[in-house]
Every structure is written in structure tokens, then in C-alpha cells.
Structure 1
Amino acid sequence: MKIFYYTFGCKVNQYETENIRERFEQEGDTAAADIASADVCVINSCTVTEQADSKCMQMLRRIRKVSPRAVTVLAGCFPQAFSDKAEKLTECDIIVGTDDKGRIPEFTDRFMKTGERIISIRKHEKGEKFDTMTNKCSGEKTRSYIKIQDGCDCYCSYCIIPYARGHVRSKPMEDVVREASENIAAGHKELILTGINLCFYGRDLSERPTLTDVVEKVCSLDGEFRVRLGSIEPEMMLADDIKRLSVLDKLCPHFHLSLQSGCDSTLKNMNRRYDSSGYASLCATIRNYFPDCALTTDIMVGFPGEDEKAFEESLSFVEEIAFAEAHIFPYSRRAGTKADSFTDQVPQHIKHERAKRMAEVCAESKSGFLAGCVGKVFDVLFERETEADWHSGHAPNYVTVKVKRNSPSDSLRRQIRKVRIISSDKEVCYGEFV
């Protein structure tokens, strides 16, 4: 059979879709280039916002229109969080929550034999075990994701994810190390450790390992590779952890610290577990131990109750921190969350105006960060060639670096080369080989 895959949302979803693809391939199935040529269409959903749900619905309708005979599978966070809505979707033949994605090939085989619709959505429970899925990974890829953690127990007032992903659970360290070793053997040059709430890694395991422990273990493996961390919750990073991480040569000095707001009253209403002074102190500590690091973040504007004064506080704080890059988005109401019932919602036009202002500040700090890289030498991992002119890759701090190609056939893909940065613009740095 030919299988079409479409993934919405985060890096964890991308990892899980890759696992589904590998399981189909073990049965002799191959990937379809498009919907029209597919026998089966697998949609791995995201439900962070209602807009994410809408995009998923549009994709399901498109599949039914383009390939009405294809078996359609809806999986992931949307059916897990809103099972009643998902079960009413007539476009879906198989509906799977966040725990049974690995059984999709089995469910597909059963459906094709019986024609009976399959719904497998199990409610998350405290103490449930980590899904043991691993990825053997294509030897063609340069970077690979390793999912080491799932679930979240924070219950931020705007977030549906704890309901979609369940409680915190972690992949045993020996399984992480085994998967990392397989990725290195396959030729991957960068391993990205990812999870739903990465810093909670190990809290559910009997040995109580920490994220720092598992990073040290992976970095101790032999081979030419580097390790990058996914998004980190600020309150979970302690000074001792940062000190331990700073001596790991293979760890990329790139920290994505989710901020959401630089205003303390807004953070409190969000049910975030830190304040702006603690966040600023963390950034200073990281920069002290990792001088050339990049600090990136997520910033929400227009949260209920955010008046102009609160927004200005957040804007000033973001300007002070000077992030290397930021993902900025207006608050979106989400059914099933506490914030959805808050009465002081911010009008849509104000949210978009604030997002624009915040983006301008962040664009300036990004440009300044890139300019600060000029003259420095980085080990750049080259991933692809852009058009005929440039090799393109990433420095350890995740700055995109381009170097001129000698010829259109010249490729440095999956190679790590020393590059001196000679110039920059608003988006990338340009360099020359050392």
C-alpha cells in the first residue's frame, strides 16, 4: 500500500509520524507522494488552538474530495482532547488518540478486512508508562529527533496540552542511549532531544534521573555528532545544571526558554511558575556559562487582562533580554481551558497590533545577534544546498550560515566544517571556510 502522511504541530508529533511511517514500511508499505496516489492517509493532529483544529478539518475534507476511497486515519492530540467531536467526523475511518499511534498499521489492516470503523482513544491515567516507540531513522537525514519525554502536569490556564498528552512520563535512560547510538551509527550529525515538557524528564522513573543526567550520558557517546535541546520551561533550569551542561563539548549552546510574557501579573494569570526577575537571572546565568549561546523563546500577546501597561512591561522586558529569535503569537481562546472563561478578553485587532509591535522589537534583537556573530568561527553542520549558489547549515547556536559553493554539483551535506562569519543580514550569516 501507499501511505500519505501529514503532520500538524510540534517536533514530538513529527517524531511520532516518523515512527508510524517506519512501522508501515516494516509491513512492506511505502510513502505516497500525494493524496491522490494514496491508499491510506494518516493525519497526525495538533490541538493547541482552534485554528489548528480548523486546519485539520480542512485537510480531512480535502482527502475525502481528492481520494474518497482512501482509508483515512485521524490521530493525536485533537481526538484525545476532544473525543466527542472527533467521533462525529464522518471523514475518518480510524480515530486514534495520543497513545495508540503505534498501532495504526494494525488498525488499518483490520479496517481493510472488516470495513468496520475503529475508534481507539484511551483516557490518560496517572502512572501510565512511556510509549516505547523509537525511530531507526533514515540514513539520508542530517538531524534527528529523539523523543525522551511526554505529558505535562503544569496546567497553564491557556493550555489544552495536559488534557491531550496526559501526565508526565519518561523514556528510560538506557532506551534513550540505545536510540541515540543507533542514530549516530546511521550517520546523523545532530540529535535533538525533545518532549512535551522536557525538563520534567525522569520524575516518574524509579532512578529519578534528570534532563542534565541524560544529556551527559548522550554526549559521552563516541562519534562526530552534537546534541541540541528542545523547548525548556524556565523554572526547571537550575544554576548547577547549567554549570554541568557548560562543560559538554557536544551540547549546542542554544536554549529555547518559553517566556510567554514579560509581565509578572500576566504570568500569574497564565499560571506560569516563574516571574520576570527569575527569568532574567536565568538568562544571565546561561550567558555567563555559554558566551556565544542563542536564547530563543515563545511570546504570547493579548492574553485576557493584558492592558496596555502590562503589554508595555512585556515589550520592555523582551527588549532587555534581546532574544536571538522569538515566535510571537496572539492569544487564542481554547475551549476546555481556564482562560477561555476569563471575562476580560482582549479584542482581536489589539492582539494583532501588539503582535506586530513585539515582532519589530524581536526582529531588531535578532539582527543585532546575527551581527554579533561576525568575525567568530563556528563548526557549521551543512544540511542542504540552496539553489545553485550556497551551502546552507546551522552553527551550534542555531544561526543559519551560508557559504558560497564552488560549483552547482558541490555538496557538503552532513559535513561539519569550520566557518568564519564575514557578514550578516536580518535572517542569516554568511561565512568563509577556515
Structure 2
Amino acid sequence: MSTVAFITLGCKVNQFETETMEGLFKKQGYELVPATEQADVYVINTCSVTSFGDKKSRQLIRRVRRLNEKAIIAVTGCYSQAAPEQVKAIEGVRVVLGTKDRAHIVDYVERAMATDGIIDRVDDIMQAREFEDIPLYEMPARTRAFLKIQEGCTNFCSYCIIPFTRGPLRSRQLASVRAEARKLVDNGFKEIVLTGIHLGAYGKDFKDGTSLYDAAKAILDLPGLRRLRLSSLESIELSDELLELIKSHPKFSHHLHLPLQAGSDEVLKKMNRHYNRDEFTSLVENVRSKVPRVAISTDIIVGFPGETEEMFAESLDYIRKLGFARVHVFPYSPRTGTPAAKMPDQISEPIKKERVHRLQQLAEEMANDFHKHYLGTVQEVLFETNEHGLTDGLTDTYIRVYTDDEVKTGEIYKVKLEKLYKDGVYGKLIGHL
């Protein structure tokens, strides 16, 4: 039996796509092995959001070649879509795929086994018009299941390469969304996370009024589903009907990840974000009024070209006032081919590093403040991992809860939250649901 190993970089969408490809290989009789072992085939699913992602992808290709020089190395994902010639130039690469046509990856790998040379299947992604619907043939080895329902982005933020690596908007048909969700629930998953490159734009390409609200409705009534969560989406795309569904449906997670990216109007304008501070504030206030106990997390990019110390201080003050439950901090990384990479007044790495540290300190304070509000309460926790006698999982508001009580991963328990602990809280078991 031939063996295949996978390495995945990047976002939840990449993780989901890896899981679909794992299923394709297992369906054809391949054995999955860890990427640290010698395998006949290595599939590296790359990320190109930052220049570090590109560098890491190249390092991993070279690492697996050292494990087995005779292996077929297949590279897919955003980096190979953005820079296929760079990928093909790396010694040992035999199959190059971009961000589509991965339903045939096993065929391309086996063709590479039978022939010499490189199989190059990177096409013009801007011509893609259909969502690539690959069924899950193998269940994810996790407690929460990601379900990709949307592809492509048309925001064209000035710092982002993703619209050029993922192409135009394409949505998964509602019937397929429900069928794949049913499959996940039937296999024991209690929580499903809907993911997409531009999730809030789900259904726009159908031009019949279908929206993310309809995709959520198609899943929520599935027997056995306990929790539905949305991954990152733009605040300007949150409809009132979707907010009402989040508020009223007992299975809908009360957590939204709404990327802000900067707290300065001047920086937001340079980023080509489609709102200013006042508009974002109004959007957040609307969310909180419609869903009173919602937890809102966000992303912030630090050190964008032209960001002065005054602008950064303005951002810190604005972020503090909004009271996010969690803040993910990223230093700006220039991406070749994007407008921001050519902008004047690029910020030095030492200044970026110092600003990242300051914002991370604020983020930790805000997270602790958010967690403190829940101390003494009883919350439902889906436990995920167990290590050294300590099990951790998430509440529906995305608080990470740790306990040393005996619990099973993949199950939901009622837990009393007692004290701040690590990046979340420590709790004691009340009962099993």
C-alpha cells in the first residue's frame, strides 16, 4: 500500500481543503502517515498571506525531500497559485496545483509516478466560475468540523494577495452544504464551523437572493448538531436577519470574528477597507444590540505603510474602547503584486515588532477583562484536546476552558468557570450534556 503525508499551512479553509484531499487519497487505497515519517507522496498545502508563509512552504518542501528523495512531492494552495514558477524551481517538486482542480490530485500524483518531469496544473484562477465541490470521504480527526461553503474574494484590500490566488466569488449549492453537514453530524461532530475566503459574500454569485442566512438555516435543524459557528466575516455583510438567527437559535454560537485591521481612518483608507471608524463602531453597536451576549473578536495589522506613532496610538485607544473579547495581532508583511507593497513610508521591522508587543499586551488585558465577566457562571464546553491530565475546549463565546476533571474529548459538558488560567479560564465539571 502506498503512503501519503500532508502538511498544511494557513487558515481554516486550507485545513478543510486538506481534509478533502486526504479523503481522496484514502478512497484510492493510500495509507495516511505523519509528515515526519518517510512517505511515497507528500502533499504540501501552502499559504501566501505573508512572505513568511512563502518561506515556510519552501522550507517544508526541502525538508520532506530529505526524508525521501524518491517521493512524489505535490504542492498546492495559495503560494503555488501565486508563484508556480518559483515552486517548480524547487528540487523534488513533481506536481504543482493552485487553488482549484484538486479533485484530481490523486490522478496527477499517479501520473507523476509513471512519467518524468513536472505535472503543472496551475490555471488562471480569475476565470474560475464554479465552486469546486469535493465531498468529504474521510472524517476530520478533530472535535470541531470545518465546512467550506464559499470560495474567492473581490474586496481587493491593498495589502492582500488572496483575491489573486483564490479568484472571484463562488458558493457551494445549498443542497451540498446541507448534505455535507449531515455527514459530519452523522459521524459524531457536535459543532460545525462554516468557513470561506469571503464568507459573508456566500450566495452573491447565485444572484437569486441566497445568503449566508440561508446556509445557516439549512444546517441548524439537523438532528444531533449542538453548535454552529461562523468563521471570519466582514461586519458590513451582517444582515439583520442573520443577527436575529444568531440571537434566537439555541444552536448558534454567540461569537463573531469581525476583522477591523486598523483603528485609524487614514490607515483604513490606504488599506482599501470599505468602512471608517465611525461606521465600524455603528456596526459593532448594532451587533451588540441585536445579540446582547455576543463575543466579538478581531484582527489587527500593525505597521502598515505610513502608519505613524500617532496613528498607532489612535488605534490602541480605539481598540480599547470597542472592548473586543480577543484580538489577533499581525505585523504588516509586504506581498509582491499588491498596491501596499509599493507604497512609500514602509515601517521598519524593529518598529513593527515593538508595536506588535504593545498591542499584544492590550489584547491580553482585554481578553482577561472579558473572561472575568464569566467567572462564577456555568457554561457549556465542547472539549477538544487532552495533554498531561489537562483537557481544554471552547464555550460558544470562544472562551478556552481548562479542567483536570475526567471528561471525554468531542463531548459537551456543563462547567463552572472558577479562575483565569493560561489563555482562558479554569473550570470544574458540573455535568455531562
In structure 2, relative to structure 1, the CA distance for the partners of 1:294 and 1:379 (3 Å cut) is same
1:122 deviation in Å? 1.1
Aligned to 1:392: 392
Q: How does 1:246-265 map to 2 (within 5 A)?
A: 246-265=247-266
Aligned to 2:233: 232
* Residues 150 and 165, structure 1, Cα contact 8 Å, conserved in 2: yes
* Residues 72 and 92, structure 2, Cα contact 8 Å, conserved in 1: no
1:316 deviation in Å? 0.6
Aligned to 1:72: 73
Aligned to 1:431: 427
Instruction: Give distance in 1, aligned partners of 2:217 and 2:401.
Output: 27
Aligned to 2:416: 420
Instruction: Give distance in 2, aligned partners of 1:385 and 1:291.
Output: 32
1:343 deviation in Å? 1.1
Query: Which stretch of the first structure deviates more once superposed, 215-224 or 321-330?
Result: 215-224
Instruction: Give distance in 1, aligned partners of 2:320 and 2:138.
Output: 40
| Matched residue type, 2:327 | A
| Matched residue type, 1:248 | H
Aligned to 1:377: 378
Does 2:122 correspond to 1:121?
Answer: yes
Instruction: Give distance in 1, aligned partners of 2:334 and 2:242.
Output: 35
TM-score (norm 2): 0.95
Query: Which stretch of the first structure deviates more once superposed, 85-94 or 330-339?
Result: 85-94
Query: Which stretch of the first structure deviates more once superposed, 51-60 or 200-209?
Result: 200-209
Aligned to 1:311: 312
| Gapped regions of structure 1 (runs ≥ 5) | none
Instruction: Give distance in 2, aligned partners of 1:92 and 1:321.
Output: 47
| Matched residue type, 1:397 | T
In structure 2, relative to structure 1, the CA distance for the partners of 1:420 and 1:291 (3 Å cut) is farther
Query: Which stretch of the first structure deviates more once superposed, 291-300 or 280-289?
Result: 280-289
Secondary structure in 1 aligned to 2:414? strand
Aligned to 1:112: 113
| Matched residue type, 1:56 | S
| Matched residue type, 2:105 | I
Aligned to 2:133: 132
Instruction: Give distance in 2, aligned partners of 1:197 and 1:286.
Output: 19
Aligned to 2:338: 337
Q: How does 1:193-212 map to 2 (within 5 A)?
A: 193-212=194-213
In structure 2, relative to structure 1, the CA distance for the partners of 1:365 and 1:426 (3 Å cut) is farther
Query: Which stretch of the first structure deviates more once superposed, 362-371 or 140-149?
Result: 140-149
Aligned to 1:182: 183
Secondary structure in 1 aligned to 2:92? coil
Aligned to 1:402: 402
1:140 deviation in Å? 5.3
1:119 deviation in Å? 0.4
* Residues 95 and 120, structure 2, Cα contact 8 Å, conserved in 1: yes
| Matched residue type, 2:411 | Q
Q: How does 1:45-64 map to 2 (within 5 A)?
A: 45-64=46-65
Query: Which stretch of the first structure deviates more once superposed, 100-109 or 364-373?
Result: 100-109
* Residues 385 and 409, structure 2, Cα contact 8 Å, conserved in 1: yes
1:258 deviation in Å? 0.6
Instruction: Give distance in 2, aligned partners of 1:17 and 1:196.
Output: 15
| Gapped regions of structure 2 (runs ≥ 5) | none
TM-score (norm 1): 0.95
Query: Which stretch of the first structure deviates more once superposed, 222-231 or 259-268?
Result: 222-231
1:61 deviation in Å? 1.2
RMSD: 1.6
| Matched residue type, 2:199 | L
1:414 deviation in Å? 1.9
* Residues 75 and 97, structure 1, Cα contact 8 Å, conserved in 2: yes
1:387 deviation in Å? 1.4
| Matched residue type, 1:184 | V
